[in-house]
Amino acid sequence: MAQAQPQTHSTVSEDYLIAIYRLQASGEQVVGARLAQQLGVAPPSVTEMLGRLRREGLVGTGRPVHLTETGRAVARALVNRHRLVERFLVDVLGLGWEEVHEEAHRLEHALSARVTERLPTSSGIPAPARTATPSSRTAPSSPSSTCGH
C-alpha cells in the first residue's frame, strides 16, 4: 500500500483530499460542483486544484473524481490524525467533544508523522483504526469521525 505523507501537502490540498474521501465513503459520486459546495469555494478553484492533485498523483483522471491509492492513503492518514487529535484534546486536555472538531482540524495539518506516531503511546489514548472511514458524528459523547469543514 502507498505510504501516506500528509505533511508534505498544503493544507488546502489536504482539505480537498479529505472532502473527496468523505464523499466517496458516503457513496456519492464526486463531481466538481459538489466539491465546490462542500468546501465553500468557486468551481474554477476546484478545477484548478483537481488539476494540481492529478499532477501530484493523488487524484485519478476521468470522471467521477476519485482518489488514487496514494490519495486515499494520504486522506485516510489525515482522517486518523484528526481522530487522534480529538481524543488527545478530550482525554488529555479535558475539552468537551462539542468544542474539539475545529481545533483538531487546525492541528491535524501541523503534526508531523513522528508526533502522530508517538502521541498514542505517550499519552495513553488509543490510536484510531488504520482503515477508518469517515462518517457523521453519532453522539456528542463520541469522537467526530469526520475531518475537514
pTM of the model: 0.73
Spans in the chain with pLDDT lower than 50: 1-7, 131-149
Query: In this structure, is the dihedral angle defined by the CA atoms of residues 36, 40, 44 and 48, taken in order, positive or negative?
Result: negative
CB neighbours of 134 closer than 8 A, spacing ≥ 6? 18, 21, 22, 25, 79, 145, 146, 147
pLDDT at 137: 36
The chain-wide mean pLDDT, for the chain, equals 80
Q: Which domains does the chain have, with CATH numbers?
A: 6-72 (1.10.10.10), 81-123 (1.10.60.10)
- pLDDT given for residue 70 in this prediction: 95
Task: Report pLDDT digits (tens) over 103-128.
Answer: 888 887 777 778 877 777 666 666 66
pLDDT of residue 12: 92
pLDDT of residue 51: 96
The pLDDT, as a whole number, for residue 101 is 85
pLDDT at residue 34, as a whole number = 94
**CA distances for 56 relative to 8, 15, 62, angstroms:** 11, 15, 15
pLDDT of amino acid 104: 84
